[in-house]
Homo-oligomer: A and B are copies of this chain.
Amino acid sequence: MLNAEEISFYLSVFKGLNPMDIYDIFKLAHTRKLAAGDIYIAEGATHQKLAYIRKGLIRAYYLKENGDEFTLLLQWEGKFIASHDAIIHQRPSRFIYQALEDTVLMEVDYEKALPVLNNNPRLSSTQASFLRGMLAESMARVESFILLSPEERYLQLIREKADIVNRVPDKYLATLLGITPVSLSRIRKRISTQGKR
């Protein structure tokens, strides 16, 4: 079941683990493909899945009653995605997870994975590493809201995620930055007109 490409893939994702550990995880994992526009996790889903994105791009958004959408998160190839409400709070997802591009996921059932992770010391520290990585990202984001203006947040985004910016419509980037699309458009104009600071 494991071809050479998949073996090297697992070895690269789970650096520091030996082949037996990786096999323990592999037994739980499967591939899922999504077309651009497909919903991966619907609102209200209790979908306890954790997925590694091999290819593509997924956004999580909140849908207000009046139809407005607020993008909370973007994740792309090499990153993980899961329903935060399901994994962290064990409750139905308030958010919708949608593929913005054709996407390939390696998916594991989180409930089944947990005992395997917790019973293998190497895997449980791998688990902690992932959580630490997610925490680092989330805290960096909080920092940006406190320390930076919307314009500075946008400049930071295009500086640090230039590739992603080009793959995502501005209206999604706007709400990700905590501003409206109209306001982002004005910021873009300010930057291009006046000095690039």
Contact = CB atoms under 8 A, between A and B. Distances in A.
Contacts of A127: 128
Contact of A139 (B88, B136, B175): B88
Interface in A139-179: 139, 141-143, 145-147, 175-176, 178
A117 to B, nearest CB: 8
Given A72-B146, A146-B176, A84 B139 contact: yes
A121 interface: yes
Contact of A145 (B71, B131, B142): B142
Interface in A75-100: 84, 88-89
A141 B137 CA distance: 13
A182 interface: no
A143 B85 CA distance: 12
B147 A138 contact: no
A146 B125 CA distance: 32
A64 to B, nearest CB: 9
A153 to B, nearest CB: 10
A31 interface: no
Interface in A83-129: 84, 88-89, 118-119, 121, 124-125, 127-128
8 contacts: A70-B146, A72-B143, A88-B136, A89-B136, A124-B125, A131-B135, A142-B145, A145-B145
